[in-house]
Structure 1
Amino acid sequence: MMAKNLQADLLMLLVTFLAAMGWMFSHEALNEMPPLGFIGVRFLLAGLLVGALGWHQVRPLHRQAWRRACATGVVMGLAMLCWILGLSKATQLGVGAFISSLSVVLVPVVGWLFFRQTPSTSTWIALLVATLGLGSLSLETGLNFAPSDGYFAAAAVILALHFNLNSRYALSIPPVALTGIQLGVVGLMALLASGLTETWAVPISGVGIGWLLASILIATSLRFFLQIKAQGMASASHAAIIMTLEPVWTAVLAMLWLDETMSLQQLIGCSLIFLSLLINRWRWLLHRPG
């Protein structure tokens, strides 16, 4: 029988692949849907689905738990609005995925800035290496940070704040209920923003609806369900280390799916960012339980 830790690792590996697939599904869906409208429909329907499946956790929640879940959902919503705007303007999804993954490095830094948590030395080293990686990417076009890269970087910072708030304020909320509420809040925020700024010019084709459903069912609902299940089976160090593979999967899929290529300088920049993720998790990697 497969060891529990190995099952958790394989599930988390699948989660990173599904997350990378979400980049592809979203890229295809944006060919027919406005970005904010797409992310709104995707997250609201996913939130309703997860919430319905976990209704036994949602129903008994107290008012304070609802406030905390909704507040952290608003922060997550700001991050996802930045992410989808970045995706809508991106010419290279692989590069964007590596920039977005900086949220892992920034979690302890945000914790230090806002909650007076002392980061380890490895965190500062990882941040330095990540900065060098971002510098390499920006120098690709002569010290110029593309608008999409700026959105992805903003999303990374806000996601790091979201992680800290989740860890600090939402520990008492059942994970499925918390996930469903947060996804729903993101969807409502995005739909409101879409209603104020976007127009839906043409009806969506069957292909567009297919990409939307794939995003809702596979890249959002199934991904978060499996992530919650895997995190409940093993230590956080397992998940943290394996989650660093998401940008790698995304870059590989972008090359296979979209025929993307990277210049040598971009490869160096992305490699430095990936190295910063490993440095940030180095202690867990060395002391990984069997």
Structure 2
Amino acid sequence: MSDKLISSSPTPNRLKGDGILILVTLIAAVGWLFSKAALEYVPSFWFIGLRSLIAGVVLGLIVNRSLRTLTREQWIISIKTGLLFGVALLLWVQGLLHSEQVGEASFIMSLVVILIPVVGRIVYGDRISKQVLLPLAMAVGGLGLLTLGDDIQLEKSHIYLLTAAVIFALQFVMTSRHVANIPAIPLTAIQLTTVGIIGCTVAIIAALYHRETLTFDWGLHAWGWILVCALLTSLVRFSLQIYAMKFTTATNAGMILVLEPVWTTLLGVVVLNEVMQLNQWAGCALIFAAIVVFQLIRMRKWS
């Protein structure tokens, strides 16, 4: 098999990689809760800007030598993909800000996995398997169930999150196509720093537009959340994810990362006492099933 996915006795390194990725999904799920809490104290654009800037600068200092070896073209590509990353995160944080359930929001964002081949087809003309149509239809059905209420309509949070998911997919497709020869951690440092600069710039423009006084006097709680999100859910999470990928396969990692919205939903119910309606549970379940089916199709294709 080209992708060593099926094995009767997983190697210790494979188990190590899987264990780290499960930890990554838990950190990511906790990150949704932390971000929701931070938005109670910090304006959304400042939150994304400062969180990403801190993570990017710290990571950049760690891999300073590697950054200096990058070519001009590698820097340009890294910044371009960072710009897309920034736009997607600014939309994501608006969606989270207006969302009543972090679990529902995380399931909508998990659609990035299915959107990637669709975006690849639209932008680069990549061949898309007809088998992808099944999970795509299931995902659309799941979104339909999420919008059911007194009347069927997309909420503001849904629109922000869906748009963010499409741009995240575009960013992923561009990154995978153009930056195969760029070291992963220096690339991440540049992208996060770019996001930070974009977020802070948009925050300043928004403050000037609304004639608000620029202030960072949000209190210790706010800065605590910013630092925790920057260091734990950005720097540590992505560093662990990159490290774990050395010990496992892409398809296996994809199956494990599907756990993120599941943990997020459970934490939202247990920690935040969120109450989801039956149609929302059904919608999340259908989206989860769509992603699992999609991953299984990839495994079968690459085996």
TM superposition score category, shorter chain reference: over 0.9
Structure 2 distance, partners of 1:286, 1:205, is 52
Asked if 2 retains the 8 angstrom alpha-carbon contact of 1:73 and 1:182, the reply is yes
- Within 5 Å, which residues of 2 pair with 1:153-232? 153-198=162-207, 199=212, 203-232=217-246
Structure 2: give runs of 5+ residues left out of the alignment. Answer: 1-9
The correspondence for 2:82, drawn from 60, 73, 92, is 73
Q: Could you tell me which runs of 5 or more consecutive residues in structure 1 were left unpaired when the two chains were aligned.
A: none
Match of residue 259, structure 1, among 273, 278, 282 = 273
Q: 1:154-197 CA distances to partner (integer Å, 9 max, x unpaired)? A: 11100110110010011111000000000000111011100011
Q: Counterpart of 2:249? A: 235
Alpha-carbon offset, residue 234 of structure 1: 1.5
Residue 287 of structure 1: how far off its partner (Å): 8.1
Runs of 4+, deviation exceeding 6 Å: none
Could you say which residue in structure 2 is the equivalent of 1:144?
Answer: 153
Instruction: Report the Cα distance in structure 1 between the residues aligned to 2:246 and 2:149, rounded to whole angstroms.
Output: 42
CA distance in 2, matches of 1:94, 1:153: 15
* Structure 2 Cα separation of the partners of residues 8 and 238 of structure 1: 10
| Aligned position for 1:278 | 292
TM-score, normalisation: structure 2: 0.92
Partner-residue secondary structure (3-state), 1:140: coil
Cα distance, 1:288 vs. partner? Answer: 9.1
Percent identity over paired residues: 36
8 Å contact from structure 1 (residues 134, 273) kept in 2: yes
Q: 1:43 aligns with which of 52, 56, 69?
A: 52
Give the aligned length. 289
What is the TM-score with the length of structure 1 in the denominator? 0.96
Distance in 1 (CA, whole Å) between partners of 2:72 and 2:134 is: 41
For residues 12 and 197 of structure 2, the distance between their equivalents in structure 1, rounded to whole angstroms, comes to: 41
Identify the match of residue 16 of structure 1 among 9, 25, 33. Answer: 25
| CA root-mean-square deviation | 1.7
Looking at structure 2, the residues matched to 117 and 2 of structure 1 have their Cα atoms a distance apart, in angstroms, of 34
The answer to whether the 8 A contact 1:238-1:288 is kept is no
Residue 29 of structure 1 corresponds to 38
Partner of 2:7: none
Give 2:164's aligned amino acid: A
